[in-house]
Amino acid sequence: MLKFSRASKQAKLKEIEKWLGYMPVIYSISLPSGYSCPFAVECLSKSDRVTGKIVDGKDTKYRCFSASDEARSPAARRQRWHNFDILRKLRDRDSMVEMIYKSVPEDLDICRVHVGGDFFNQRYFEAWMIVAGLMPGRKFYAYTKSIPYWVENIGKIPENFILNGSKGGSRDSMLDEYSLKVAEVVLSLEEAEEKGIPIDSNEYYALNDGGNFALLIHGTQPKGSESGKAIKELRRRGVKFSYKRG
């Protein structure tokens, strides 16, 4: 069985109650960051499966917050590799559908698909769309750089699965070409304002089809990097940007 995590304790997700009117039961499922992200560029980072040591990609502009979590937590690494190992052994889409469907927690209301990781191939992407279609009373959402798999299935995405195209990948041009919803990491409040996009601090924009939005830079960043300097400035100004557990 795949392993899901109860996500309702995360500070960012607690805020969902304020705009939804009640606190849903939220779970997440993750895969190893970087290793399962075929189109990642600007956020490409990998935490070694055994040691946790992080290695950034040659074009990394900001370190993946989820890879940093894996570096700190052997338990997170074990869980994510457990899921990845199972899924990679399944050679057809129907087997993936069966595995995902029987692993979904019974009390789940909302599922974030991939706090860590991404849709690593076409079969896996389509399997999730089928599972969501089989569970119309539940809501699924994901940030993804696997834009080609999304484009291949335009018109087949179930209404209860909200996809957010994560800017900073090798297929960014397809986001504009196909007018897909975009989530973009910004380094400051002013950058989001200049681009005319709202900042999502409570998953409202991620979970609703309200157009493009921004996420403030977060996570542990390399010392001396532009992203690291941006976080230092956000802290100095008292701007809330991190998504720690409550």
Q: What is the pLDDT of residues 66-80, one digit of tens each?
A: 999 999 999 999 999
193 occurs within a structural domain: no
Tally: H helices and E strands in the chain: 11, 9
Domain span at residue 37 reads: 5-171
Whether residue 182 contacts residue 165, with contact meaning beta carbons closer than 8 Å, is answered with yes
125 occurs within a structural domain: yes
pLDDT value for 147: 98
pLDDT value for 12: 72
115 occurs within a structural domain: yes
pLDDT value for 244: 47
Residue 127's pLDDT band (cuts 50, 70, 90): very high
Q: Which of 43, 31, 40, 35 is nearest to 81 (CA)?
A: 31
Total domains, the chain? 1
pLDDT value for 8: 63
The rounded percent of the chain whose pLDDT value lies above 70 is: 89
| Residue 177 reports pLDDT greater than 50 | yes
197 occurs within a structural domain: no
218 occurs within a structural domain: no
HSE on the CB side for 45, CA within 13 Å?
23
| Residue 154 reports pLDDT greater than 70 | yes
The Cα angle at residue 33 between residues 204 and 11, in degrees rounded to 5: 35
pLDDT value for 65: 86
Is the pLDDT higher at 7 or at 226? 7
Q: Which of 183, 178, 134 is nearest to 163 (CA)?
A: 183
Whether residue 116 contacts residue 81, with contact meaning beta carbons closer than 8 Å, is answered with no
88 occurs within a structural domain: yes
53 occurs within a structural domain: yes
